[in-house]
Structure 1
Amino acid sequence: MHVLLVKTSSLGDVVHNLPMVTDMAVMRPGIVIDWLVEPAFADIPAMHPAIRSVIPADIRRWLRAPWDRGTWRGVQALRARLTKTTYDLILDTQGLAKSALIARLARGPLYGPDRHSAREPPAAAFYTRGLPMSRDRHAVWRNRMLGAGALGYPLPETMPDYGLAVPPSGDTGGPFCIAFHATSRASKLWPPGHWGMLGQALRRQGFRILLPSGSAREQAAAAKITAAIGDGALALPRTGIRELAGVIAQARMAVGVDTGLLHLAAALGRPTVGIFRDSDPAQTGVLARDAVNLGGLRSCPTVDEVRAALARLGIGDAA
């Protein structure tokens, strides 16, 4: 069976689709899966051994410049690539009009969330078959429901298996915590003073603190936090997702705000504490065996709460 999965963005949403891919590979041995995704996130599906081919689609750039000649060339090249294969099933888990339209470029029956489940209900009109998803469950479970419904196997009730295979990236110089301090919205950030106090407490327990960043603004924020923590804190240089994943895979723990890299850390099996200030962790929190979510809408978890959560995961103590 040859399946095309359409999940283009964002990083956390892409990570939330990985357990569905693992389910498909287990429940339908021999399945061949291609994944259509934004180039910025292509490294994520490429790290899953069940994915045969990653197909980049620069949809965000195309939408910013719809009349640009490069946009039309890009769409034509994508169409040419997609139509080389007749798929047994195309599954759009994005549930948006733009993802459904792009999925329509491929050959094969197109499945996706029904109009009661899709993020944009009109997208369901493009599907050969719409599938129900429970809005009350976590995004990982909603995606697993889609996969089970599309391929006709019972929904596994096991903990999600993200299935990533990531080699470590070099010597990190002893046990460390990777701290995801940056995110897409200011309302999701944790106060820099909180990061400073948490980092100092972890340093006293013998951990280094590594802070990744994805932009100049985030690097400047990381520099302020490392200065507040002092010796043993390091603002990492900007790097690609695959290389950063190799660093994350070696971390003793991960602590972070609501950002895709936090979900990647949990997917890589790192003990993870999520700090939520402006989103609902019941819907999109970290979902893994060794993970704790703190906070929620209009909240601000304290440093002591984060340290207590780490202690529950067997790391250090809350004192």
Structure 2
Amino acid sequence: MTTRILIVRTSSLGDLVHMLPAMSDIARHVPDARIDWVAEESFAEIPAWHPAIHEVIPVAHRRWRKHWWSARSRAERAQLRQALRGREYDVVLDMQALLKSIWIVRQTRGTRHGLDRRSAREPLASLFYDVRHKVEFWQPAIIRQRTLAASALGYQFEGPPDFGLQAFSRDILHPGYAVIMPSASRDDKLWPSQDWHAVFKHLQSYGMTLKILAGNPTEQARAKQLMQGWDHTQVLPRMSLTDTARELAGARIMVGLDSGLTHLSAGLGRPTIGIYKASTPVRTPLQGSGYTASLGERGQAPSAHTVISAIDQALQTLSQPTMPPEPSA
């Protein structure tokens, strides 16, 4: 008998990446599971990568809130409401616990699970669940999500996180390029140009070319300014998340600020160095099957020397690769 499960976690990029190991756990421990996932339209590619996900149901909160009462927005919300109310789920699992996710949960049919008031970032959200689960707040996000899923579905998880992204790594030879992510959603996360230049010089001493990720026009301009005068570099154009994941999966190493793409690189199993300056890695450390280093702390950025030392250690581990976990069914 099929167990129909709806996952509600709409954003953001890094948060959805942190969700993927919980999906692998569900597939492993609930073999008859049929999992649907509600996600923001701009991130809908991420759950679709996981082999255990049956259907991704897109929402457009970010677009709707700009034109909430437009005819198009009202029509799309009505279509979503009709789609959700037309399905019966055994478990509706809100893994976001925010009032904006409650708006979605209230339109579903099924037993609604979520965090209790002491575990949720927005405690009011807990009032709308049929079943509430306690999950310790100050622990890595991946563990929190795996714990919540296990509590809701009645199993105990074990082992390292499996992101279910093995399809990206097949038949890749890892040519000699490094991916750099020097941009972030907030300016207080940015790292000084002179420190980046020290890292660039060190990576090129290994014979690597550099590929710089940049999305919006501001990031593109910053990346081009940062790379001015440097040979063997390329500022990548804005790409889909799937194409970006392919670039990351093919990299020899990735160095980036605390951003969703840096966490994606780690989830893909690539050696990844994360630079934290405006946030703490306690709750969102880099995790993956390859070497990872989460450097710095809120208000205290790592030095270029610290990052370079981590790069050396990461590249040394490439001569002793570890096997990734088998993909989930």
Q: Same fold (TM over 0.5)?
A: yes
Q: Distance in 2 between matches of 1:244 and 1:223?
A: 18
Q: Which residue of 2 aligns with 1:267?
A: 267
Q: Which residue of 1 aligns with 2:99?
A: 97
| Cα deviation code 1:130-164 (max 9, x no counterpart) | 1111112101100011100100101x231111111
Counterpart mapping for 1:188-203 below 5 A = 188-203=189-204
Q: Which residue of 2 aligns with 1:157?
A: 158
Q: Distance in 2 between matches of 1:3 and 1:149?
A: 14
- SS of the residue aligned with 2:92? strand
Question: Bigger CA drift: 98-107 or 260-269?
Answer: 98-107
Post-superposition shift, 1:306? 0.7
Letter in 2 for 1:112: G
Post-superposition shift, 1:168? 6.7
| Cα deviation code 1:269-292 (max 9, x no counterpart) | 001111000101010121224211
Q: Which residue of 1 aligns with 2:322?
A: none
Q: Distance in 2 between matches of 1:153 and 1:193?
A: 49
| Cα deviation code 1:102-135 (max 9, x no counterpart) | 1221211111111111111001111111111111
Q: Distance in 2 between matches of 1:31 and 1:189?
A: 42
Q: Distance in 2 between matches of 1:127 and 1:189?
A: 39
- Identical-residue share of aligned pairs (%): 38
Letter in 1 for 2:298: L
Q: Which residue of 2 aligns with 1:237?
A: 237
Counterpart mapping for 1:1-319 below 5 A = 1-154=3-156, 156-167=157-168, 174-228=175-229, 230-289=230-289, 290-315=291-316
- SS of the residue aligned with 1:134? coil
Contact 1:47–1:165 (8 Å) recurs in 2 = no
Q: Distance in 2 between matches of 1:173 and 1:110?
A: 44
- SS of the residue aligned with 1:87? strand
Contact 1:291–1:313 (8 Å) recurs in 2 = yes
Question: Bigger CA drift: 306-315 or 48-57?
Answer: 306-315
Post-superposition shift, 1:171? 9.6
Moved over 3 A (4+): 165-174
- For these two proteins, the number of residue pairs brought into alignment is 314
Gaps of 5+ in 2: 318-329
Question: Bigger CA drift: 62-71 or 233-242?
Answer: 62-71
- SS of the residue aligned with 2:315? coil
Gaps of 5+ in 1: none
Post-superposition shift, 1:64? 2.9
- SS of the residue aligned with 2:195? helix
| Cα deviation code 1:147-186 (max 9, x no counterpart) | 00100101x2311111114447999994111111111011
Give TM-score scaled by structure 1 length: 0.94
Q: Distance in 2 between matches of 1:167 and 1:266?
A: 13
Q: Distance in 1 between matches of 2:74 and 2:248?
A: 38
Letter in 2 for 1:273: I
Distance 1:201 1:298, change over 3 A: same
- SS of the residue aligned with 1:45? helix
Give TM-score scaled by structure 2 length: 0.91
Distance 1:199 1:172, change over 3 A: farther
Distance 1:188 1:170, change over 3 A: farther
Distance 1:183 1:315, change over 3 A: farther
Distance 1:157 1:168, change over 3 A: closer
How large is the RMSD of aligned CA atoms in angstroms?
1.8
Q: Distance in 2 between matches of 1:143 and 1:267?
A: 15
Contact 1:169–1:243 (8 Å) recurs in 2 = no
